[in-house]
Amino acid sequence: MRTQIGEMNFIMAGMRKRRRRWMFITSLLLLLSLILMCAMLLLGNTIYPVSVVVRSLMGEEIAGANFAINTIRLPRMIAGVLAGFAFGVAGYIFQTMLRNPLANPNILGITSGSSVAAVFCITVLHASNTVISIAAVIGGVITVIIMYLLSRGRCSFSIGRIIIIGIGMQAMLDAVILFLMLKSSQQDIPGVLRWLSGSLNGAKMGEILPLLIVVVAFTPLMLILGKQLSMLELGEQMALSLGVATDRMRITLIITSVIMIAIATATTGPIAFVSFLAGPIANRLVGVSASNILPAGLVGANLVLFADLIGQFAFEYRYPVGVITGILGAPYLIYLLIRMSRKGEL
């Protein structure tokens, strides 16, 4: 009896320790996000003091500052936070749900599906930004529906099958994008490249609103499902034995994640590797025993804001945020492939 009580106390102490670590790391990530958000508002061609930024945000007319802060920097900052959070959360959910670090929306072709729809609207239809955004969302949703249906096969859902199908679809969709670019007129190419690279340039408050609504609406649902998501890591049969309706939960998570990442892609373009990096970084910081949906989202937001600041001010020329995140993510992808190959996981 005493042994059982001791073991229970040991388990409870471990849970409290993990909870404290989760709270501490999450608070640090939130603080870092606030610091980077302030830097996005303060820095630019003209560096404004904090007092000027606050007065401008409060609505006071300040010659030269209102346009730079309220029209350019504020939408750019909000777009970076929301898109980074959405990419981070969606990437973490796919990696956890499919139990594979390669299973993220970039590699599975979901963002490529959104990109095909957007590039088609730019090069063929010459559509407005609103139509491009709607088409990008529809393209991402259709892509994931096709992947899910093909991955079920005759029996049940297959993790390996959906990853293989996703990688194949990404290659096919990327080829479609190249075909559309080759057939498009020269004046459309700059707009396509700017969209495909992933950029916060030209962000407008009206275009950010759908992403804000989706992030605010879906994040609580994902946090509620976070505990059941962790059970999926134990395997399909174990999750079923614990009372998890795996198919229903998986469909719910896939739909919400795809909508989030499709709207984020429609807002900023496919910012490379954020959904790929956010989950592993969050797990390394917090530990894999907890549901790290919120930390992964904060890591994603920090990655986008930090990369955008680097792209704006670290070099002689300004680079889109997607270029910087691509530089950061590519070495990690190579490292991960080498490690998985050595372990026989590929």
* 73-97 per-position pLDDT tens digit: 999 999 999 999 999 999 999 888 8
* CA–CA–CA angle 148, 150, 154 (5° rounding): 110
187: Cβ contacts below 8 Å, ≥ 6 apart: none
Q: How confident is the model at residue 297 (pLDDT cuts 50, 70, 90)?
A: very high
Please state the rounded mean pLDDT for residues 318-333.
85
Examine residue 298 and state whether it is found in any structural domain, yes or no.
Answer: yes
Q: What token pair was written down for 276?
A: 């790929």
Task: Report yes or no on 61 lying in a domain.
Answer: no
Angle at which helices 205-224 and 293-313 cross, to 10° = 150
Domain ranges, residue 130: 21-55+76-342
Tell whether 7 is covered by a domain. Answer: no
Higher per-residue pLDDT: 227 or 225? 225
Within a domain: residue 146? yes
Structure tokens given for 149: 């249906």
| Contacts by residues 60-66 (CB-CB < 8 Å, ≥ 24 positions apart) | none
**239 pLDDT band (50/70/90 cuts)?**
low
The distance from CA 57 to its chain's CA centroid, rounded to whole angstroms, is 28
Best CA proximity match to 330, nearest among 288, 277, 294: 277
Tell me the CATH number at 320. Answer: 1.10.3470.10
d(CA 289, CA 15): 9
CB 91 within 8 Å of CB 274: yes
Where residue 235 falls (left for φ over 0; alpha for ψ -120 to 50; beta otherwise) is left
Q: Number of folded domains in the chain?
A: 1
Least confident piece of the model among 47-61, 108-122, 234-248, 269-283: 234-248
Distance (Å, whole) CA 126 – CA 266: 16
Whether residue 311 has pLDDT greater than 70: yes
Residue 77 makes CB contacts below 8 A (sequence gap 6+) with: 37, 40, 41, 305
- Please name which of 129, 153, 108, 111 lies closest in space to residue 260, comparing C-alpha atoms: 111
DSSP-H helix ranges across 184-204: 189-197
- Helix and strand numbers, DSSP H then E, in the chain: 15, 0
Instruction: Tell me the average pLDDT across 125-144.
Output: 83
In a domain, residue 3? The reply is no
Give domain status of residue 12, yes or no: no
Is 248 inside a domain boundary?
A: yes
Q: Give a yes or no: residue 15 inside a domain.
A: no
CA–CA separation, 118 vs 134, rounded Å? 9
